[in-house]
Structure 1
């Protein structure tokens, strides 16, 4: 598990964070007891939550490979990137599109601490990590690590995987995403996933209650609400579907077993 002594000062590890819970579900070691405790509470409501985390990670890989291959995109902005780990955006782009520019954004300072360690071990300059808040998209886009690393005159692949549920409705999540999409040029693509009560209302209600007890925001949304995030962009086939059903390598036995909607859309010129 993560060494408390190696962390920046002033960080409260007694409160769970979504990035570290995700790391726990994926079998990582960059998490703390508060993250594991809340992660286990989620598992009581949804025993397949670890599978859902893995399916989100697999979707991320498929979306990046589509963007890099079919669309030829060589710049990626991953918001809510989480702790560096196998299968994350930098590792997938390194294989799918070597030499791409990647910006990973997260609001957890512990993520940044681990990211610095990774970058020091494998310096290259293609990937930068930025600490910023999705709820303030204008500040995020203006951050030197974003504006100085990405060329917004060229297409960008925007990744919003399993992050928008952390925004309350009063945080104006649709306006937040619209601000990000408006900043991107034609030819850009956006990929997102979002948990939903559409699959199992009771289980999702229990997870939301567990999150509240752990001082975490979790807002599931319907398929129609998820579709709104794409604005006027052109949805790629097969549209907004269960995350396991978006261009899978192998057809899933039950595509609704992971309670997330997923989709990729392109900004037309």
Structure 2
């Protein structure tokens, strides 16, 4: 069931079924990042992934770092003041609203996730500063159309003005038969010219054997996981104008400081593009 929550309703979060008996990608990321909002099934599947890819915790951190770099660029140099963060994850250091509002206090952010634990933490996501606003919608990427018309989104963001859309480590959770490219396109088509999209996605072509092992582990844990090739990831950007350096390993997208010695150590493709 879809739920929306903004700052005016931040104290009215109802109890939710946390479904802690089955693993969830948001809680697995929390485990890999060293958080405490995870449970035995999340840790068990997270460890199975780590068995196949020993650097999985590094990869999770690199995804988070990419998000920070991308949002700082969009809020700073690109002048974006509105963000739609799909696949938010459990609140941790460097949430989108914290990064954006540190650059521009009037930034507005709408978070979207389908993990009931993220819903339970929604108050933390809305602890904004300055004149900005934050809001949360409990929904799935497959509900793209409903997300765009949700009253919480329409009260918080003005879709006639540019928006920064983030799809960080979320499109991998949509099977090909559910058309992740179409789901992303619905969101992107609704945004005004001058909007941006930032994407990361696990790459099947970095280490096909290791990726096959994590896909098998995910299936045993009742989780959909679809790593994709660079060309398949590039397809998500469509005809939007890719910023330099294009679709590259996540560690190679405008790194802070010195370029990494081995940018392929994190098996994710990444990129940021602008709508003409």
**TM class, shorter-length:** over 0.9
Deviation at 1:44, TM superposition (A): 0.3
Q: Is it true that 1:266 corresponds to 2:244 in the alignment?
A: no
Task: State the 1:109 CA deviation.
Answer: 1.4
TM-score by length of 1: 0.94
CA contact (8 A) 1:52 1:258 kept: yes
Cross-structure match for 2:138: 131
Query: How many Å apart are 1:239 and its aligned residue?
Result: 0.3
Q: Is the 8 A contact 1:48 1:258 kept in 2?
A: yes
Distance in 2 of aligned mates of 1:103 and 1:24 = 24
Deviation at 1:148, TM superposition (A): 1.6
1:105 to 97, 102, 112: 112
Alignment partner for residue 184 of structure 1, among 191, 202, 218? Answer: 191
Query: Out of 29, 32, 40, which is 1:33 matched to?
Result: 40
Structure 2 residue 174 is the aligned partner of structure 1 residue 167: yes
Q: Check conservation: 1:244, 1:256, Cα contact below 8 A.
A: yes
Q: Quick one: which of 249, 255, 260 aligns to 2:263?
A: 255
Where 2:146 maps in the other structure, the secondary structure is helix
Q: Contact 1:243 / 1:255 at 8 angstroms: preserved in 2?
A: yes
User: Whole-Å Cα distance in 2 between the matches of residues 189 and 16 of structure 1?
Assistant: 31
Residue pair 1:7, 1:110 contacting (<8 A) in 2 also: no
Deviates more, 1:144-153 or 1:228-237: 144-153
Alignment of 1:212 with 2:225, yes or no, is no
Segment of structure 1 superposing worse, 142-151 or 7-16: 7-16
Pairwise CA distance, 1:11: 3.1
Q: What's the CA shift for 1:95?
A: 1.2
Q: Distance in 1 between matches of 2:121 and 2:37?
A: 8
Shift of 1:116: 2.4
Aligned to 1:3: none
Aligned residues: 263
The two structures have a TM-score, normalised by structure 2, of 0.91
Equivalent of 1:222 in 229, 236, 240: 229
2: CA distance between counterparts of 1:267 and 1:34?
A: 40
Contiguous gaps of at least 5 residues in structure 1: 1-5
